[in-house]
Homo-oligomer: A and B are copies of this chain.
Amino acid sequence: MSQLKTTERTRVKRLPDRGRHDRETVNAILDAALIAHVAYEKDGEPAVLPTAHWRTGDTLYIHGHSKNAMLHAARGKPISICVTLLDGLVLARSGFHHSINYRSVVIYGTARDITDPNEKMAALKVFTDKIAPGRWDEIRPPNAQELKATMVLAIPIEEASAKIRSGPPVDDEQDYALPVWAGVVPIDRIAGVAVPDDRLPKGTPLPDYIDHFNRMGR
């Protein structure tokens, strides 16, 4: 496994057994999730907003309108990005040992604004095909004006780590005798039945990739 260099802020200090520092684990979590939360500085104070993300190799991408205030504040500055997948509720016999099963990744880095139109176009194709593999070749691609109106930021996945909690509750030994139900309630994200747009011509076939979300490495 390819290991990421651990820094003071990516080392998992509390419960270090939950920390993962290999690229395979980090990448798998990033690829299974659609939404990242970006922390950036806004007027000298921390701010956080959600955005979609995608990955190519060791680079994470986020994007938005070229007038997006978060992207403007984030580019070229130190930011932090977190991706979290909620996997289950851990119901223990004591309040103290209740927990949550999850997988998360935190990245620290500086985001580069992609200005080359070809590089931008290539990145957007990867994003579309992450959500719906093959869709890029079916839709109308961005024209020059739309490409200009789209800002794409690239963040190296270098100062990064993952954290995972899985499995049953861990109770204090004397609490196992308590007559209360304990265990895990698994939580999953699923795509439901696709809702065709009202203006879709009758008979437009539903593409094969429509339920790809349900196979996104969860």
Query: Which A residues are closer than 8 A to B by beta carbons?
Result: 9, 13-14, 34-35, 37-43, 45-50, 52, 65, 67-69, 78-82, 84, 86, 89, 91-96, 98, 100, 102, 104, 106, 108, 124, 128, 131-132, 135-136, 138-142, 146, 149-150, 168-169, 175-176, 178-201, 204-207, 210-211, 213
Contact in complex: B197, A182 (CB < 8 Å): yes
Q: List 4 additional contacts besides A35-B84, A46-B47, A52-B100; criterion CB under 8 Å.
A: A91-B131, A169-B197, A181-B200, A185-B192
Contact in complex: B82, A48 (CB < 8 Å): yes
**From B46, B94, B213, contact of A79 by CB (8 A):** B46
Contact in complex: A47, B168 (CB < 8 Å): no
CA distance A98 to B41 in the complex (A): 28
Contact in complex: A35, B86 (CB < 8 Å): yes
CA distance A67 to B84 in the complex (A): 22
Contact in complex: B180, A191 (CB < 8 Å): no
Contact in complex: B128, A98 (CB < 8 Å): yes
Contact in complex: B191, A185 (CB < 8 Å): yes
Contact in complex: B82, A180 (CB < 8 Å): no
Shortest beta-carbon distance, A72 to chain B, in Å?
A: 11
Contact in complex: A95, B82 (CB < 8 Å): no
Q: List 17 A-B contacts (CB under 8 A).
A: A9-B42, A14-B65, A14-B68, A38-B48, A46-B78, A47-B80, A49-B104, A50-B84, A50-B104, A52-B100, A89-B132, A94-B141, A95-B136, A168-B198, A184-B197, A186-B192, A187-B191
Chain B residues near A181: list those with CB within 8 A: 138, 196, 200, 204-207, 210
CA distance A78 to B9 in the complex (A): 20
Contact in complex: A186, B193 (CB < 8 Å): yes
Chain B residues near A187: list those with CB within 8 A: 189-192, 213
Known: A86-B34, A124-B95, A213-B89. A200 touches B188 (CB 8 A): no
